[in-house]
Amino acid sequence: MTDFTGKHGLIVGVANKRSISWAIARAVAGRGARLALTYQGERLEENVRELAQELTDPLILPCDVTSDEQVAEVYRAIGREFGGLDFLLHGVAFAPREELEGPFVQTTREGFRIALDVSAYSLVSLTRGAVPLMAARGGGSVLTLTYLGSERVFPNYNVMGVAKAALEAAMRYLASDLGPQNIRVNAISAGPIKTLAASGISGFTSILGIYRDHAPLRRTVDAEEVAAAAAFLLSGDASAVTGDVFYVDGGFHAMGM
């Protein structure tokens, strides 16, 4: 099992105990990592602080990823407390609920802007802030979470699919930029999991059924399986892996029908 003893990481995107980001936080903390966790707003702060009680000496910080100042303050706090950073998990995504209903052609300009800002540009801004702290460690790993809706049309995924496509492109450009500094950037494309974000997608239950019927493994995946793959990609065991979308979906992405 990968050892994270002495490593420090930032986890962005924990909403509740079902969050994929939380499963990843538990996986790396259980292997020895010390973590900083962020929350957005008072509504989620209580959830994050309660969950963080399971961790050893976590750093809990507010962060609205649409605010450059809040992102900068997160990294100032991490610099003071940790002195450097070994890995970053970007697990935040959002689109207004009304944009995930009806035809995609009805997407509003504001809904498009919000989805791309929160779900894709935030990877750029968070990575940019992490670079000096990772450089202080001699390199690091950045990981984001995506979905097959970036490549194929899923009912009601709409503008979020476009945002995930932009996210994956951003990941590749960041990997190219930062490789010379020994900073790797990758994405995990997970199968559908019942999270807070998934609850906003109409017809999500039927998508789960289709995966169970057609994925080579004939089942869906769980957050712990995604977390195990994430621990690998965030660790030195994946030292030659960058610019990659790593599928953890029971093989569904490989199927034509």
Task: List, by residue number, the catalytic residues.
Answer: 147, 157
Could you tell me how far CA 167 lies from the centroid of its own chain?
10
Give dist(CA 9, CA 126) in Å, integer: 13
Residue 247 DSSP label: E
User: Which helix (H) or strand (E) covers residue 242, if one does?
Assistant: none
Cα→Cα distances 48→171, 193, 235, Å: 26, 19, 24
> Order of strands across the sheet with 183-190?
59-62, 34-39, 8-12, 87-90, 140-146, 183-190, 245-248
Residue 254 DSSP label: G
Strand, helix or coil at 150? helix
Residue 141 φ/ψ, nearest 5 degrees: -135, 135
Give dist(CA 10, CA 113) in Å, integer: 26
